[in-house]
Amino acid sequence: MPLRLPLVPSGDPDASLTLEPDSGAVVRRSILPGGVRVLTESLPGLKSATVGAWVGVGSRDEDDPHAGSTHFLEHLLFKGTARRSARDIAEAFDGVGAEHNALTGKEYTCYYAKVLDADLPLALDVTLDMVTSARIDEADFEVERKVILEELAMNEDDSGDVAEERFASALFGGHPLGRPIGGTPESIVAVPREAVWEHYRARYVPAALVVVASGAVDHDRVCDLVGEGLSDGGWVLDPAAPPVARRDPNATVDATFTPRVDVDHADEQTNLVIGTRGFKATDERRNALAVYLTVLGVGPSSRLFQEIREKRGLAYSVGTYVAAAAETGTFGMHAGCSPGRADTVAALMAEEFERMTAGVSVAELERAIGQISGSTVLRLEDTAVRMSRLARSELFFGEWRTVEEALSEVRAVTADEVAAIAADLVGRDRCTVRVGPAV
């Protein structure tokens, strides 16, 4: 059974947990003063570690006056603090050969670095300095405004990116989940520095912070370093403060649904996305969904790949994807093809989607389970992937499964469960997005 990760004040005896070992790995979790959560996974035999500072705020948490602020902050935190210039931050990471970056999602932001074990104190010090003490100077702000506008323009040139953004908007129109994570050119041009600063001060708080490290790490040492870094950053840490609550998985999504979107886009290909609203992150059917996705559209042996690319040569790229939020999700099939073939490809995608309700063969089921199991273990050779898995367990699920427990659940998926997923998805309102030249 998975172990629960309760949200409790730091003075509670359950604030510090040692979770079950997994192939020699030991996972530990503590809640520090201020409600700061620290999770570590100690892996024997390694000389490196990946550390991430996760803030439970994403693009869905913005109101109109702060639209685009979350992604703006991802850029701005690298521009300098009271202790370090942007160059100092870059040189600190580069000087130890660190792999470092940041990412923004709809429900979180993460700043991470992969370093040698000896350099973990430096990585934590710099990362926490950025999180707690960003300057956000007006001059830096205007420079990054230009950079972000260039980034958005680059994304707009990619018809595949455009299709996925329009698909999210079609599924969740009027809801924050339907907005682009990076903002729009209009919102980035309009948002003032004061609004982004206000968003930073309101959202980057101890109770929303989760620090996660995986690899050659010592839990107690990481906790000490986090406490020192937050104190150096001037954060006030209330000893009795609990972490912020996890998002409500039963919340209602009040959004409009648009069944068809066509975008005239100057390109050599038409990009298609066909799908529907999917399942929330904590849905108990998520393992059956993973098997369903694999059979339908993950990898060269999948039905979509075999039917559309291998047999007919109608597309180079075709497959399935999902995105899960606290209370809902997205299911999509995607393909890129010549404009004149778009109707045929769309019809074949819909046909395979509907054919999944007839069930999957024993061979397909076994192959999908094997594919998921193998790829999962191979990905977990990377401490960055393990760090991210641990963070998502804390932020989204509130429980931790060992790798073997997770694989056992995948292996237990039945053909009937996959067919039930297929029937559920087919019964939902369907959306089709086409992005490409008009024909």
Which of 74, 107, 307, 352 is an active site residue?
74
* Tokens linked to 326: 């606290």
Nearest to 324 by CA among 353, 298, 297, 289: 289
Q: Which residue do the tokens 């702060």 mark?
A: 66
Name the phi and psi angles at 48, rounded to 5.
Answer: -135, 170
Residue 273: closest CA among 438, 437, 433, 436? 433
Report d(CA 288, CA 356) in Å as an integer: 13
CB 69 within 8 A of CB 195: yes
DSSP letters of 103-160? EE-SS-EEEEEEEEGGGHHHHHHHHHHHHHHB---HHHHHHHHHHHHHHHHHHHH-HH
Active-site residue flag, 394: no
**Six token digits for residue 379:** 């990905």
Reported as type and span, the H/E element at residue 365 is: helix 362-379
Matching residue, tokens 């991470």: 112
Element (H, E) at 215: strand 209-215
Catalytic positions? 74
